């Protein structure tokens, strides 16, 4: 695993650490470093439950909470890397908490079994289905069936 950082390659700032934006990009949480930086600036990345700055050094054992859209992941840092590699290598950089995995699965199931928007509307604007039904009834010339 040549992409993983040894303490000698970790950088001059702190031995055994890497910038959090680089690590998030290398671990494939974000497609680009600039997206990772924007998420950090907007407070969507927490380390140890606290907001962080872009250049914060990340160390092995840190707990990172990353929110991207409606997906929130809580991971523990297992290895450091400042190089983006293959996805299987990126998955070795962290261990996702069991609660985090359970929340993601639950959210996925909720989206899959989501409520049809038309059932939430009790009046007001008709759905596409309602408009088609109305058009068929009017085409027959019978307005009383509604």
Domain made up of 17-100: CATH architecture: Roll (3.10)
The C-alpha angle 56, 35, 22, rounded to 5 degrees, equals: 40
Interatomic CA distance for residues 75 and 95, integer angstroms: 5
| Residue in the structure block whose two tokens are 């596409």 | 128
- pLDDT by 10s per residue, the chain, length 146: 444 554 434 443 556 789 999 999 999 999 999 999 999 999 999 999 999 998 899 999 999 999 988 889 999 999 999 999 999 999 999 999 999 999 999 888 888 887 666 666 666 777 889 889 988 988 887 555 45
Q: Are 30 and 39 in contact (CB under 8 A)?
A: yes
| Residue in the structure block whose two tokens are 């909720």 | 110
Within 13 Å, how many C-alpha atoms sit on residue 137's CB side? 11
User: Whole-prediction pTM value?
Assistant: 0.67
């Amino acid at each position: 695993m040549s992409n993983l950082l040894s303490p000698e390659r970790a950088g001059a700032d702190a031995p055994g650490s890497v910038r959090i934006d680089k690590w998030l990009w290398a671990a494939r949480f974000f497609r680009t470093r600039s997206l990772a930086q924007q998420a950090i600036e907007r407070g969507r990345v927490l380390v140890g439950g606290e907001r962080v700055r872009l250049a914060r050094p990340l160390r092995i054992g840190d707990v990172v909470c990353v929110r991207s859209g409606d997906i929130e992941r809580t991971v523990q840092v297992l290895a450091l890397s400042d190089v983006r590699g293959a996805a299987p290598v990126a998955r070795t950089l962290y261990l996702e908490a069991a609660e985090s995995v359970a929340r993601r699965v639950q959210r996925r199931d909720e989206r899959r079994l989501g409520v049809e928007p038309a059932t939430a509307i009790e009046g007001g604007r008709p759905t596409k289905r309602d408009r088609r039904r109305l058009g068929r009834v009017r085409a027959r010339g019978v307005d009383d069936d509604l």
